[in-house]
Amino acid sequence: MKILVTGGAGFIGSHIVDAYIDLGHEVRVVDDLSSGRKENLNPKAEFTELNIQDDRIEKLFSNGQFDVVNHHAAQMDVRKSVADPKFDAQINIIGTLNLLENCVRTKVKKIIFASTGGAIYGEQDYFPADEKHPTWPISPYGITKLAGEKYIHYYKEVHGLSHVILRYANVYGPRQNPHGEAGVVAIFSERFLQNSEQPIINGDGKQTRDYVYVGDLVRASVLALDYEKSDIFNIGTSIEADVNKLYRLLNEYTGANVEEFHGPAKAGEQMRSCLSFAKAERILGWKPEVELNQGLKNTVEYFKEKEMT
């Protein structure tokens, strides 16, 4: 297949690009490198440095004649979305619409959309949340991702564009950017290893998330290629872990032995999040395989190797 991966120089997107290329697909990456890195790019993928809102993306689609678009480019920082909702909407809604219009124009067969299970349900009514859980996000980021899902449904109903929407839990693993506000595992790992800046736990640290390893996530995007219907799937572990636990485990695995430090709570952060993967297991044959302890050890090893290079 000819596949376009937006955000393919980023943390998650670059792993998906690697998997698609290993399977023999022809992959083009579009990324504006605002958070993605050239070092993440697979040398066998063609690369275009471009923002997904840019009108020049029309030429990319016309020349590429893609079968599938895997859409991972996004403003994905919940706190940044709270601080600047307009910026968040410009990327996550207008940018997505730009892609969808070009998908229809150039007869793309399918779009795989990276959505959020971690933010789209808001404060959950029950745990773990399945795909039928009410969607009342409490952050602009969650709202724009939900809007993206609704637009994608519209393009299926009106234009026949097939889709697979993957609602991710909190993703962690190698290549995650430790210099943004998102990605507590990466932030803690680097700060523990460098011993230069105190890792800060926001609030009491009892807020829980469903942490899913990036390698497991990639398998979902691979399975979505061959799925012939249009549907929505949660991609998580159904297990909650709080920030205090992450701090203790990463403190141990890095050998840092740094005392816990708590800062103020952050606006727009929900208290608990946990996703059911039962539907993905039943229909796609997907389930998480990497347990949290092993995934955290893998991530720490990645950052250790990075420190030595």
Looking at beta carbons, which pairs linking 300-303 to residues 24 or more positions away fall under 8 Å?
A: 300/189, 300/193, 300/250, 300/253, 300/254, 302/173, 302/174, 302/175, 303/178, 303/186, 303/189, 303/190, 303/193
Could you read off the pLDDT of 21-64 as tens digits, one per residue?
999 999 999 999 999 999 999 999 999 999 999 999 999 999 99
Domains of the chain: 2-171+211-235 (3.40.50.720), 178-209+239-273+290-308 (3.90.25.10)
- Tell me what pLDDT residue 31 has: 98
List the catalytic residue out of 141, 168, 172, 211. Answer: 141
Tell me the pLDDT tens digit for each residue of 223-243: 999 999 999 999 999 999 999
The verdict on whether omega for the bond into residue 128 sits within 30 degrees of 0, i.e. cis, is yes
pLDDT of residue 78: 85
Catalytic-residue membership of 253: no
Query: With a cut of 50, which residues of the chain have pLDDT below it?
Result: none
pLDDT of residue 256: 95
Q: How far is CA 72 from CA 15, 16, 69, 271, in A?
A: 11, 10, 9, 25
